[in-house]
Amino acid sequence: MDEISLKALAKINLGLDVLGKREDGYHEVRMVMQTIHLYDRVEIKKTRSPHIHVETNLYYLPVNEDNLVYRAAKLMKDEFQIKEGVRIVLQKFIPVAAGMAGGSSDAAAAFVGVNRIFGLGLSEEDLMKRAVKVGADVPYCVMRGTALAEGIGEKLTRLPRVPQCYVLVGKPGVNVSTKTAYENLKLDDPAVVHPDIDGMVTAIREGDLDGMISRMGNVFEPGIIGKYPVIQEIKDLMENHGARKAMMSGSGPTVFGIFDSREKMEQAAAVLRESKLAKTVFATEVF
């Protein structure tokens, strides 16, 4: 096999809590991660020249070692002393810097792809151990599905699939870096509401969609919505048009709404597109 084409799937956070800052500067988190059917396309081809060559449809993304796919490929090439090179063509659809782990998922696809085309025979667990060196969310993106993520996001417990539901994604035209999200999070403020992650995990284990939805929460929301009220407007629009619940994903600004029927979701998607509150809108479902 000389080339492979993979889907790098996006994630949403059904629940996101931050417990505190560790001595090494990283934050201790507890998150319920869910893969959705929105993806970038990652094509990887063996080349005779020894270089890693990255191409993408988004002119503003780096194509050198600052691109996470480059880092993943380099790590594998160095460890396994691979003489040949790779040409990676990255077609981005997942909004960038949006709280949907786009870059991390691309990197996960690079690990999986390099393993396959060079016949390295690494297991999923082997890949996940290496993936954390590229980013805290990359091991989860290798694993996919529904999971509880703890530590800095790398300690994963697989959960059963959530009951079938539909996910409307809307990204407003603002950008929020993870750094900004942490700067606006005041963990010592007693008013901070920590979502009930344990309750959500139990609900998912019991296949209880209502229980899961009632526990959705993101500790970053108040700080970011304070700065960007459009996030609240998108949430309200989704909830006024049939979403069982709408919430910001990760460090934002992307909002997703959970629907129990595709039809209701499509109707809400049409209203959201018309409203122009969101720059990009995707109507999709859980993986």
Select 103 or 195, whichever has its Cβ closest to ligand ATP. Answer: 103
Tell me if 103 contacts ligand ATP by CB under 6 A.
Answer: yes
Distance CA 32, CA 52 (A): 34
Select 74 or 262, whichever has its Cβ closest to ligand ATP. Answer: 74
Residue 77 falls in the annotated catalytic set: no
Strand partners, 17: 30
Segment interacting with ligand ATP (CB under 6 A) among 66-74, 126-134, 161-169, 194-202: 66-74
Q: Which of 12, 114, 137, 277: binder of ligand ATP (CB under 6 A)?
A: 137
Select 10 or 269, whichever has its Cβ closest to ligand ATP. Answer: 10
Distance CA 134, CA 85 (A): 19
Cα end-to-end span (Å), the chain: 27
Distance CA 136, CA 142 (A): 12
Q: Which of 18, 61, 162, 265: binder of ligand ATP (CB under 6 A)?
A: 61
Select 67 or 115, whichever has its Cβ closest to ligand ATP. Answer: 67
Interacting positions 171-230 with ligand ATP (CB under 6 A): 178
Segment interacting with ligand ATP (CB under 6 A) among 26-34, 99-107, 217-225, 270-278: 99-107
Select 64 or 123, whichever has its Cβ closest to ligand ATP. Answer: 64
Q: Give the Cβ contact number of residue 209 at 10 Å.
A: 17
Catalytic residue among 17, 40, 106, 137: 137
Structure-token pair, residue 129: 């151990």
- For 122-141, give one letter per residue: b (16+ CB within 10 A) or e: beeeebbebbbebbbbbbbb
Tell me if 115 contacts ligand ATP by CB under 6 A.
Answer: no
Task: Note whether 31 and 154 are within 8 A (CB).
Answer: no
Tell me if 15 contacts ligand ATP by CB under 6 A.
Answer: no
Q: Which of 99, 113, 195, 223: binder of ligand ATP (CB under 6 A)?
A: 99
Distance of closest approach, residue 285 Cβ to ligand ATP, in angstroms: 19
Distance of closest approach, residue 98 Cβ to ligand ATP, in angstroms: 4
Tell me if 275 contacts ligand ATP by CB under 6 A.
Answer: no
Residue 137 falls in the annotated catalytic set: yes
Q: Which of 76, 98, 134, 281: binder of ligand ATP (CB under 6 A)?
A: 98
Segment interacting with ligand ATP (CB under 6 A) among 26-34, 63-71, 123-131, 193-201: 63-71
CA dihedral 190, 244, 198, 203 (to 10 degrees): 160
Interacting positions 229-268 with ligand ATP (CB under 6 A): 250-251
Total residues in contact with ligand ATP, by rule CB under 6 A: 21
* Active-site residue set: 11, 137
Which residues make up the interface to ligand ATP (CB under 6 A)?
61-62, 66-69, 90, 96-104, 106, 137, 178, 250-251
